[in-house]
Amino acid sequence: MTEPSQSAEAGAAERRDPATVSRFVEHFAAQLVEAGMPRMPSRVFAALLAADAGSLTSAELGDQLQISPAAVSGAVRYLAQVHMVSREREPGSRRERYRVHGDQWYEALTNREAVLKRWEDALRDGVDTLGADTPAGRRLAETLAFFEYLEGELDALMERWRAHREELFGRR
């Protein structure tokens, strides 16, 4: 038996205008592109976010976005590498579904922490190579200090986010 809230949600989803959803997907994808994410992964990610189930097959993504299976594959590969989507096999089928999770931003940000560490190591090497007392060395040292500060703040920020998310949405 379907609960009343599930029926209302299903009804609302059925009444959505596909053109309006498409405009949202393209607008949000454009914002992601502006922030530096590649265009096709941005469109696929936005489409997955806009899907009520949070998941779509390659064929569904291709139909919705009017893109080729190869474009879907490349976009999903990129999104999986940066931990923004996961692949799931449909039970009893060879088809894969691509899923975006509620914690995709956390996962993406956490993944960036490893990138920050690598940048810090490279900057530290640059400061040593160029000399801390040179203009370039001082510039690199300041950049290194910023990344070290950011890394230290990320842990505290993520703890505050988890508490805030629990207040807003309950335990996950």
Here the CATH number for the domain that contains residue 80 is 1.10.10.10
Helix axis angle for 18-34 and 58-65, nearest 10°, is 90
3-state secondary structure of 95: coil
Same domain, 89 and 58: yes
Same domain, 91 and 108: no
Same domain, 41 and 9: yes
Helical H segments across 51-100, by residue range: 58-65, 69-81
Quick check: 74 and 114 in contact, CB under 8 A? no
The pTM (predicted TM-score) of the whole model is 0.71
Quick check: 89 and 98 in contact, CB under 8 A? no
Same domain, 69 and 126: no
Of the three residues 80, 99, 118, the one that is the final residue of a domain is 99
Domain carrying residue 117: 104-169
CB atoms inside a 10 Å sphere around CB 33: 15
Of the three residues 40, 68, 99, the one that is the final residue of a domain is 99
pLDDT digits (tens, 9 = 90+) for 132-167: 999 999 999 999 999 999 888 888 888 898 899 899
Task: Assign 172 a pLDDT band (cuts: 50, 70, 90).
Answer: low
What per-residue confidence (pLDDT) applies to 77?
Answer: 95
Task: Assign 110 a pLDDT band (cuts: 50, 70, 90).
Answer: low
Task: Write a three-state SS string for 103-170.
Answer: CHHHHHHHHHHHHHHHHHHHHHHHHHHHCCCCHHHHHHHHHHHHHHHHHHHHHHHHHHHHHHHHHHHC
Task: Please determine, for residue 114, whether its predicted confidence score (pLDDT) is greater than 80.
Answer: no
Quick check: 29 and 75 in contact, CB under 8 A? no
Same domain, 115 and 158: yes
Angle at 27 between CA 41 and CA 84, to 5 degrees: 30
With a CB cutoff of 8 Å and minimum separation 6, the contacts of 121 are none
Percent of the chain with pLDDT over 70: 85
The listed range with the strongest mean pLDDT (43-52, 83-92, 95-104) is 43-52
* Average confidence (pLDDT) over 43-66: 94
Query: Per the structure, how many domains does the chain have?
Result: 2
